[in-house]
Chain A
């Protein structure tokens, strides 16, 4: 994991940019990044992947949510230089090669789960990360503390709402977002 690129080691230079290799949607990219570059800006400005959105840029809205190693994160708060060797999936990477939409994307369309659509890529990436967490038995704030740790958590509406609370929708499409997520629960 460590050591392949310039920033490794305690004696690294005073450089303010470094080489980084990332896999984004399955494709490797090597580029020199200013240490200040966030993952969100790298995706949008350097890799021409504008799916992840810049809403608040402070980790408060969730519009920038992507999957890092399969886990949902706020890309606006991650420094690209720290992600050397990591795997990133953005909303652009969810559909198959044949451009067929991911079932959750289809559910958002069918349920009309957005108005302006600005928060939608973040909502979808967050929901996918959330579904994996629940399948792995991760509890939420509203899960019964006595629930067994080794079984998937059943996602009722309070669970979905709580688990997606990191994604704001200022159009207020929440009821339909919850319905769209319900449509793809296994």
Chain B
């Protein structure tokens, strides 16, 4: 690890100033990914701007029925929060499906969104990686790519986003609140992460120096039935091979609202808009679910080692949707 300066700002504005004043600065949250990447030589910040003492650690009800989650709320506390468990069960389940108890106690909401891919070529500085070193090539495209993307990848990058939490946020229509030089803005969680395209080094739509101050969970999906399911190589403490979060509201025998997102299939949580559109207004039958999910996954382009992800994601989605639908509908 290379020596670096350390700054502990007293406010969000001070944090942004400190970041802007120091080339090569990085914001420090729980550090569970950043510190690891520094040990690996993937990240070599000139300064760390420590955000962890900023007053962004509350989960608060917002007038109108939304819930605001501060960027520094720890993953374990968010998963255990009574209002999150009651109103957004998929979010609590997604958080609890990720990492370990120790890591969830340290990892923050903002940091979870900003964690980097666990692509082994990205994490190994002796290998080519367009995300880490633009223009150096992609080791995974024709390398060992069992864990990699089947949707939305480019010749430049086939990495997946590793977060479970972000998948639930995408399905729940959450928004991410950002603070930057031009003030505060919010973006849809489902649009916060990018597809790699020609710029795989950019994971998100964050502008230089911008920082995440919170996540907004909307009133519209509060209390709707939602679930998260994840498949992995061992029963616990492993990244997803495929996962799905879904929100499903059925009224008078037809689907009134559907929010579906896949994890571990793409460079970002994959919001299944085509499947959702196919379900809206339809009866929530097994046949309707199959049609919708197949429509979405027909866009998949598996790599050499990961064709298994398509039927795996399909089975996960059908299971989650079936469990969310009223029992009579799918019988």
Contact = CB atoms under 8 A, between A and B. Distances in A.
Given A138-B79, A141-B96, A145-B89, A10 B9 contact: yes
B106 A77 contact: yes
Interface stretch (B32-40, B154-162, B286-294, B307-315): B32-40
Interface string A1-14: 11100011111111
Interface string B12-44: 001101100100000010011001101100000
Q: Which residue of B17, B47, B93, B103 has the most chain A CB atoms within 10 A of its CB atom?
A: B103
Contacts of B1: 36
A120 interface: no
B52 A82 contact: yes
A129 B101 contact: yes
Contacts of A35: 3-6, 48
Contacts of B144: none
A141 B7 contact: no
A58 interface: yes
Interface in B69-122: 76, 79-80, 82, 85-86, 89, 92-93, 96-97, 99-103, 105-106
A18 B92 CA distance: 38
Contacts of A34: 3
Given A10-B18, A82-B50, A138-B76, A149 B86 contact: yes
A38 B36 CA distance: 11
Interface stretch (A67-75, A98-106, A177-185): A67-75
B8 interface: yes
A77 B32 contact: yes
Top 9 closest pairs, chain A to chain B, by CB: A166-B100, A165-B236, A16-B3, A149-B82, A10-B18, A10-B14, A138-B80, A165-B237, A141-B96
Interface of A: 1-3, 7-16, 18, 34-36, 38, 57-59, 62, 65, 68, 71-74, 77-79, 81-82, 126, 129-130, 133, 136-141, 143, 145, 149-150, 161-167
17 contacts: A9-B8, A10-B10, A10-B14, A16-B4, A57-B39, A62-B100, A71-B105, A77-B32, A77-B35, A81-B6, A133-B76, A139-B85, A139-B92, A149-B85, A162-B236, A164-B101, A166-B99
